[in-house]
Amino acid sequence: MSIELLTLLFFGSLLVFILLGLPLAFVLGGVSVIFLYFTWGFDAFYLVASKMWESMNSFTLVAIPLFVFMAMILERAGVATNLYRMMHLWWGGVRGGLAIGTVGICALMGAMVGLSGAAVVTMGTIALPAMLERGYNKEMALGAINAGGGFAVLLPPSILMILYGLITGVSVGKMFVAGILPGLLLVGLVTLYIAIRCFFQPEMGPALPKEERGDWGERFRSLRSVILPILVVLMVLGSIIAGIATPTESAAMGVLGALISAVVQRALTWEVIRTSAIRTLRLTAMIMWILFAAHAFSAAYSAMGAQSLISGLMEHIPGGPWGTIIFMMAVLFFLGMVLDPVGIMLITLPVFLPIITELGFDPIWFGILFIINMEIGYMTPPFGFNLFYLKGVVPPSITMGDIYRSVIPYTVVELIGLALVVMFPAIATWLPSMVM
Amino acid sequence: MQALYALMRAITCLNEWVGRVTAYLIIPVFFLILAEVFMRYLFGAPAVWTNELAQLVFGVYAIMAGGYLAISKGHVNVDIIHSKFPVRTRALIDVLTSAMFFIFMGALLYFGVSLALESMETWEHSQSAWNPPIWPAKLMIPVAAALLLLQGIVKLLKDILTVAGVALPADLAAESAPEEHA
C-alpha cells in the first residue's frame, strides 16, 4: 500500500473514531496499535509499554499534578472574590470597567495557575452575575471571561508549556519566560478592545453609578487583596527566574503558596484538600493516559514513514518558510475548534517541529505561537473547553449560542495578537535571551 | 443476571477505591519535592533520594486512575455528534468502537506483563546514587492496565444490555461521578 493511502487511512480512521465519541486516548492507542501491527508486527507493541514507563520517569511531568493541585486549592481559597471587589472599586467608574477588571483578574490568576478552567469557572461565578446585574451586554461579559481564562496557558506557569518542552526538548523555564510578554500583549489588546468598544457604545458596558464606586480609603484598603496572589506569583515565577528551582520544584512552591493563601483566607479545611486531590487526580490521569496513547501514536506514525510524506507535502505550500508557518497556524486554529490542546500537541508536534527546525526557526518562538493558538482553541466553538466550563456555571437564561457568539470579537483580537508575534518574533524571544 | 450485576458493581467499587486512595499520593509528592528545595537552600545538603522517590510515586499516581476515570466518563471525548443519537444507538456505537479500546488495552496489558516480569527476574534497581528497587513501579503498569480493562468490560456489558433493551439498575446506569469534573 502506498504511503499516501496509508496516511489517509490512518488519519481518516482517527477522525472517524473521534467523531463517534470514543475517548481520545483510546482512539489514539487503538488506531496506532493496528497500524503498528501492519508495519512492524506484533512485537512493536512492547514499545507502547516501555514508552509508558518512560513517561512515568519524566521529572518534568511531575509538575503537572502539582500545578493542577495548586490551581484547585487557589480556586477554593476565595482569593478571587476579594480581587473582584478590588477591581470593582477601582475600575467601576470606567465604561466597560468591570469587564476590564475581569480580564485583569483572569490574567493574575493565569500567572498563578497553568490551567484555563480555573479562571473561567471562578469568574463565571463571581463576575458574570455582577456584570449582568449592572446592565452589561451579555456577549461582552461572556466573551471577556472566555478570553480571560485562556491567558492561563500563555502566562507562566503553564501545563501546555511543560508538555511542549517535554515533546520538543526545549527548556520549560525558557518557555515560561518567553510567554510573559506575548501574554501581556494579549491582555493589553483584549483590554483595549473592551475599553474602545464600551467607550463608543456605553450600552455594552455602562459605568457604575457614583455610590457604588466607594471612596479612596475603601479603594486603598481593597488593595490588600493582591498581596496573596503576588506572593504566589513570586514564589512560582520568581523561583524559576532566579534559578532557585526547576519548573517542577517551582510547582511545589506554588502548592505551598496556595496553601498559605488558603490559611490566610481561613479556607483551609480537610474537605478542600480532599476534593482538590480528587479533582487533581482526575485531570492528571486524563492528560497522562492521552500522553501514553500518544506515544503509540508517534511510534506508529514514524513507522509508517509519514514524516517524510508530510515534509514533502509542506514543500509544496506556496510562500516558502513563511507560507509554511501561516499554513501551520491555520491547521492549529482549525484543530483547536475540534480537539483538545493536549491531543493537538501530541498529534501535530512530531510532524511540525522537525520542519520548523529545518527551516531555521526558533522552537521557543514557535512554541509561543503554538500556545497562543491553543489559547484561542480553548474558546473557539464548537469544542473549546472554556465554553463548556462557562456553560456549566452560567444562569439558565444564557444559551450555548450566546456563549458561541460572544467569543467572535475576542477571537479576532487574539488573532491580531498572534499575527503580531509572528511578525515580531522578538516579543517572544527577547525576554528569555535577557534573563536566562 | 444478578451475578453479572454484582460483578459489575464489584469492579466499579474496586476502581473507585483505587481512585480515592491514589488521589492522596499527590500529598507525599508535594512534600518530597518541597523538602528537596528546602534542604538544598536552607541546609546546603540536597538529599539523593527525595526527587527519585517523588518520581516513583508520581509514576504510580499517573497510571493507576485510568479505571477510576472511566467510571464517570472522565477520559475526554468529542460528543457533539454522539450525544445527538438516541440512547440505544449511542450504546450500539460504543459497543462497536470499543474494539479500539480493547485492542489498545490488550496490547498494553500483554506487554506490560512482560515488561514487569523482565524487571522482576532481576529485582531491578534504578542504578542511581540512591539505587531503589524499581520493579514495584513497573509492576503497576500491567495492574493499571488491567484495572482500566476491567472497567472497560463493565462499560461494554452495560452497552450490550442497553442495546438489548434491558433496563439497568439505577446505580449501574448512573455515569456521573460523585465528585465534580475538574
Residues with Cβ within 8 Å of residue A294, at least 6 apart in sequence: A28, A343, A346, A347
Measure A155 CA to nearest chain B CA, in Å: 20
Residue A30 has pLDDT above 60, yes or no: yes
* Alpha helical stretches, state H, A316-384: 320-338, 341-358, 363-377
Predicted ipTM of the assembly: 0.93
- B175: confidence class by pLDDT, cuts 50, 70, 90: low
What residues pair up with B133 in beta bridges, in sequence order? B125
Which candidate, B67, B28, B180, B71, places its Cα nearest to that of A72? Answer: B180
Rounded Cα distance between A256 and A236, Å, is 10
In this complex, the residue of A22, A66, A117 whose CB is nearest that of residue B100 is: A22
Residues A88-114, mean pLDDT to the nearest whole number:
89
**Does residue A40 or residue B94 have the better pLDDT?**
B94
Residues B60-75, mean pLDDT to the nearest whole number:
91
Cell numbers for A327, please give them. 499554513
* Alpha helical stretches, state H, chain B: 2-23, 26-42, 50-64, 66-71, 87-121, 135-163, 170-173
Rounded Cα distance between A132 and A176, Å, is 35
- A74: confidence class by pLDDT, cuts 50, 70, 90: confident
Residue contact A21–B76, C-beta within 8 A = no
In this complex, the residue of A22, A249, A293 whose CB is nearest that of residue B37 is: A249
Rounded Cα distance between B111 and B108, Å, is 5
- Partners of A281 on chain B (C-beta within 8 Å) are 19, 22-23, 26, 61, 65, 68
Put simply, whether B99 touches A (Cβ < 8 Å) is yes
CB atoms within 10 A of CB B6: 10
Put simply, whether B107 touches A (Cβ < 8 Å) is yes
Residues with Cβ within 8 Å of residue A308, at least 6 apart in sequence: none
Cell numbers for A378, please give them. 480553548
Q: Are A290 and B76 in contact (CB under 8 A)?
A: yes
Residue B176 has pLDDT above 80, yes or no: no
Cell numbers for A254, please give them. 506554588
What is residue A321's predicted lDDT score, i.e. its pLDDT?
87
User: Average pLDDT of chain B?
Assistant: 88
What residues pair up with B125 in beta bridges, in sequence order? B133
Using one digit for the tens of pLDDT, what is the confidence trace for B143-160?
A: 999 999 999 999 999 999
User: Average pLDDT of chain A?
Assistant: 88
Using one digit for the tens of pLDDT, what is the confidence trace for A197-231?
A: 999 999 898 988 877 777 888 888 888 888 888 99
Using one digit for the tens of pLDDT, what is the confidence trace for A334-388?
A: 888 877 788 888 878 888 888 898 889 999 999 999 999 999 998 998 778 788 8
Lowest mean pLDDT among A144-148, A271-275, A308-312: A308-312
Q: Using alpha carbons, list the distances in angstroms from residue A350 to A167, A337, A344, A415, B76.
A: 8, 20, 11, 24, 22
Q: Are A298 and A310 in contact (CB under 8 A)?
A: no
Q: Are A250 and A239 in contact (CB under 8 A)?
A: yes
Q: Are B152 and B70 in contact (CB under 8 A)?
A: yes
Chain B interface mutation, best of A278, A283, A297, A335, highest count of B Cβ atoms under 10 Å: A278
- B181: confidence class by pLDDT, cuts 50, 70, 90: very low
Residues A107-121, mean pLDDT to the nearest whole number:
84
Residue contact A46–B55, C-beta within 8 A = no
Rounded Cα distance between B169 and A229, Å, is 48
Cell numbers for A28, please give them. 489514539
Residue A327 has pLDDT above 70, yes or no: yes
What is residue B128's predicted lDDT score, i.e. its pLDDT?
82
What is residue A384's predicted lDDT score, i.e. its pLDDT?
80
Dihedral through CA A294, CA A297, CA A302, CA A306, nearest 10? -120
Cis peptide, bond prior to residue A129, ω within 30 of zero: no
Residue contact A281–B22, C-beta within 8 A = yes
Is residue A60 exposed (0-12), middle (13-18) or buried (19+ Cβ within 10 Å)? Answer: middle
Q: Using alpha carbons, list the distances in angstroms from residue A11 to A14, A38, A348.
A: 5, 15, 12
Q: HSE of B133 in the Cβ direction (CA atoms, 13 Å)?
A: 9
Lowest mean pLDDT among A99-103, A132-136, B41-45, B111-115: B41-45
Residues B26-39, mean pLDDT to the nearest whole number:
93
A314-326 b/e with 16+ CB inside 10 Å = b? beeeeeeeeebbe
Residue B77 has pLDDT above 50, yes or no: yes
Which of A181-190, A337-346, B132-141: highest mean pLDDT?
A181-190
Q: Identify residue B35 by its one-letter amino acid code.
A: A
Put simply, whether B3 touches A (Cβ < 8 Å) is no
What is residue A426's predicted lDDT score, i.e. its pLDDT?
94
Chain B interface mutation, best of A76, A289, A400, A404, highest count of B Cβ atoms under 10 Å: A289
Using one digit for the tens of pLDDT, what is the confidence trace for A394-411?
A: 888 888 889 999 999 999
Give the percent of chain B with pLDDT over 70: 95
Residue B178 has pLDDT above 50, yes or no: no
What is residue A307's predicted lDDT score, i.e. its pLDDT?
66
Q: Identify residue A78 by its one-letter amino acid code.
A: G
Residue B177 has pLDDT above 50, yes or no: no
Measure B17 CA to nearest chain A CA, in Å: 12
Using one digit for the tens of pLDDT, what is the confidence trace for A253-308?
A: 999 999 999 999 888 999 999 999 999 999 899 889 988 888 788 778 777 776 67
Give the percent of chain A with pLDDT over 90: 39
Residue A415 has pLDDT above 70, yes or no: yes
Is residue B21 exposed (0-12), middle (13-18) or buried (19+ Cβ within 10 Å)? Answer: exposed
What is residue A409's predicted lDDT score, i.e. its pLDDT?
95
Closest residue in A to B182 (Cα) is A279
- B66: confidence class by pLDDT, cuts 50, 70, 90: very high
- Partners of A152 on chain B (C-beta within 8 Å) are none
In this complex, the residue of B24, B100, B107 whose CB is nearest that of residue A17 is: B100
CB atoms within 10 A of CB A214: 19
* Ramachandran assignment for A95, one of left (phi > 0), alpha (psi -120 to 50 degrees), beta (any other): beta
- A40: confidence class by pLDDT, cuts 50, 70, 90: confident
Residues B113-128, mean pLDDT to the nearest whole number:
89
- A38: confidence class by pLDDT, cuts 50, 70, 90: confident
